[in-house]
């Protein structure tokens, strides 16, 4: 993946400031942070987004999030944090190598949250739930 920015960072071809690394993932400071201490957690293997990441890799990387989030909060003095995964261009993904954002939050920061919320009309909630359940058939047979 010569053109993938994160693959270049993982391979140390692109300078970065890592805060954690192991055999499954690396975590480094975003050079364009939403807030000071914004960390990106990136699987070492290239996959376009979270939906294409093997479940065992996703689980291994996600298992690091509690400690990484706690460290970011303590180091920055944040009052909270967001963990965000953007999947697809329409959702704000700009680097197509699946990753998690840990964004420290402060009462006086300029991040607008929460996003607008809608409602379901009539039986729409049941229709959407049914469609999702149908798509999940066969995925969790061993569970």
Catalytic residues: 99
What is the Cα–Cα distance from 133 to 76, expressed in whole angstroms?
41
């Amino acid at each position: 993946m010569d053109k993938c920015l994160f693959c270049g960072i993982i391979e140390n071809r692109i300078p970065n400031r890592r805060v954690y690394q192991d055999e499954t993932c690396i975590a480094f400071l975003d050079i364009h942070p939403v807030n000071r201490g914004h960390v990106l957690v990136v699987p070492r293997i290239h996959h376009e987004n979270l939906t294409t990441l093997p479940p065992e890799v996703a689980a291994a990387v996600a298992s690091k999030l509690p400690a990484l989030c706690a460290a970011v909060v303590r180091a920055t003095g944040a009052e909270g944090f967001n963990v965000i995964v953007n999947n697809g261009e329409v959702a704000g993904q700009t680097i197509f190598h699946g990753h998690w954002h840990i964004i420290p939050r402060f009462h006086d920061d300029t991040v607008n949250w929460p996003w607008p919320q809608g409602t379901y009309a009539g039986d729409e909630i049941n229709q959407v739930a049914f469609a999702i359940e149908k798509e999940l058939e066969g995925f969790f047979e061993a569970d």
